[in-house]
């Protein structure tokens, strides 16, 4: 291998590594729409995902209280995943009490459909206030940024 081939190979590996585990804005929009998310909430969703996970589906975050957040929507294992009694319904008291029926590990794979399903049900019950990334970063001024435009999706 000559020096040019080695440099090209290193660059390809670096680029693939930086893109791995990430969804595009339009992939997130499509997953949310498929679960009934309203376009009027889409800027909130995109801001939430940008601040919670930077559009990465393979991330986890250990919280101060000992719980862990999983995936692109950073679903908490204390409240939203990993409970054997988790629910597939949209009944709010069941979602608040038992969370979604998903194993937390399913929120860090590349298929974000179940993540979006759970996140939309949580949002429909409690609004976006369940996510600190949204609470702390997604003011109305922030939501006006072109970063959250989705009309081309």
Q: Among 32, 27, 55, which Cα is nearest to 124's?
A: 32
**Catalytic position from the list 27, 35, 41, 52:** 52
**Catalytic position from the list 35, 44, 69, 77:** 69
Is 149 an annotated catalytic residue?
A: no
Is 52 an annotated catalytic residue?
A: yes
C-alpha distances out from residue 33 to 25, 37, 59, 77, 150, Å: 12, 5, 22, 24, 12
Give CA 90 to chain center in angstroms: 19
Residue pointed to by tokens 């995936």 = 71
Residues belonging to the active site: 52, 69
């Amino acid at each position: 291998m000559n020096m040019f081939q080695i440099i090209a190979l290193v660059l390809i590996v670096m680029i693939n590594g930086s893109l791995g585990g990430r969804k595009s804005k339009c992939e997130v929009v499509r997953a949310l729409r498929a679960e009934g998310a309203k376009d009027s909430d889409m800027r909130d969703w995109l801001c939430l995902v940008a601040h919670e996970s930077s559009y990465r589906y393979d991330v986890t975050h250990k919280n101060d209280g000992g719980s862990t957040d999983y995936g692109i929507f950073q679903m908490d294992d204390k409240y939203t995943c990993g409970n054997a009694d988790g629910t597939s319904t949209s009944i709010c008291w069941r979602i608040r009490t038992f969370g979604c029926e998903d194993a937390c590990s399913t929120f860090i794979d590349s298929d974000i459909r179940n993540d979006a399903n759970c996140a939309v049900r949580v949002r429909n019950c409690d609004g976006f206030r369940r996510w600190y990334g949204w609470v702390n970063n997604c003011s109305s001024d922030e939501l006006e940024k072109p970063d959250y435009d989705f009309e081309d999706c």
